[in-house]
């Protein structure tokens, strides 16, 4: 059995990221949570104030023999706008900032290279931060599998569903059957 690796991304509401990465071949799990802040065991309500320094993230456990870290980066950049500072669409605040939390030097280098390559294709400046991983705090249980459990909720239909469909179309070979 392959050794599993970890990748942690923040790029808007964690429901969006989780919904996509849960469907990705090679991803064992992608729980929602919080990272990067200065408060131990933050709650959703605390993070939403924007005062804890935490970002809504997904912490992806993946099998590198089935999907590469670079593939995960490609998906991450395709499903959110890395040029929006402290927001994704109508979700605003530092908790929605675009960030890659790296686990090791190899991930840091890969993330910075992906940003450089992606910047060449975009008119606006990429604002995605690259920071060392910190303590991951799992989100409250009601956040897990939110899209799967609430596909007809208005936010899910208007925001998450288009991202999932974009992923499924652009990365058809990476979608779990």
* DSSP helix/strand/coil, 36: coil
Task: Please say if the pLDDT value at position 86 is more than 70.
Answer: yes
d(CA 6, CA 94): 23
pLDDT given for residue 1 in this prediction: 58
The conformational region for residue 117 under phi > 0 = left, psi -120 to 50 = alpha, else beta, is: alpha
Determine which helix (DSSP H) or strand (DSSP E) holds 41, and give its type and residue range.
none
User: Residue 91: which CATH number?
Assistant: 3.30.1060.10
Q: Which pLDDT band, with edges at 50, 70 and 90, does 177 fall under?
A: confident
d(CA 86, CA 15): 17
pLDDT given for residue 76 in this prediction: 98
- Check 13, 16, 48, 156 and give the catalytic one: 13
pLDDT given for residue 147 in this prediction: 97
Number of domain units in the chain: 1
What's the pTM value of the predicted model, to 2 decimals? Answer: 0.96
Q: Is 156 a catalytic residue?
A: no
Q: Tens digits of per-residue pLDDT, 40-69?
A: 999 999 999 999 999 999 999 999 999 999
Q: Tens digits of per-residue pLDDT, 31-44?
A: 999 999 999 999 99
Alpha helix (H) residue ranges in the chain = 14-21, 44-48, 69-79, 105-119, 146-149, 154-155, 161-170
Q: Tens digits of per-residue pLDDT, 116-148?
A: 999 999 999 999 999 999 999 999 999 999 999
Residue 105 sits in which domain range?
A: 5-174
């Amino acid at each position: 059995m392959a050794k599993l690796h970890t990748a942690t991304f923040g790029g808007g509401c964690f429901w969006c990221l989780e919904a996509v990465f849960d469907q990705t071949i090679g991803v064992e799990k992608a729980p929602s949570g919080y990272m990067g802040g200065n408060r131990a065991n933050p709650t959703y309500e605390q993070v939403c104030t924007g005062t804890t320094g935490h970002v809504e993230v997904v912490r992806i456990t993946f099998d590198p023999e089935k999907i590469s870290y670079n593939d995960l980066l490609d998906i991450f950049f395709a499903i959110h706008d890395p040029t929006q500072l402290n927001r994704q669409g109508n979700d605003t605040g530092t908790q929605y900032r675009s960030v890659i939390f790296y686990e090791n030097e190899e991930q840091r280098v890969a993330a910075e290279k992906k940003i450089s390559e992606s910047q060449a294709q975009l008119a606006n400046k990429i604002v995605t931060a690259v920071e060392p991983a910190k303590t991951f705090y799992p989100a409250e249980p009601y956040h897990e599998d939110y899209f799967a459990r609430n596909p007809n909720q208005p936010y899910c239909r208007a925001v998450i569903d288009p991202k999932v469909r974009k992923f499924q179309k652009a990365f058809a070979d990476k979608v779990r059957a």
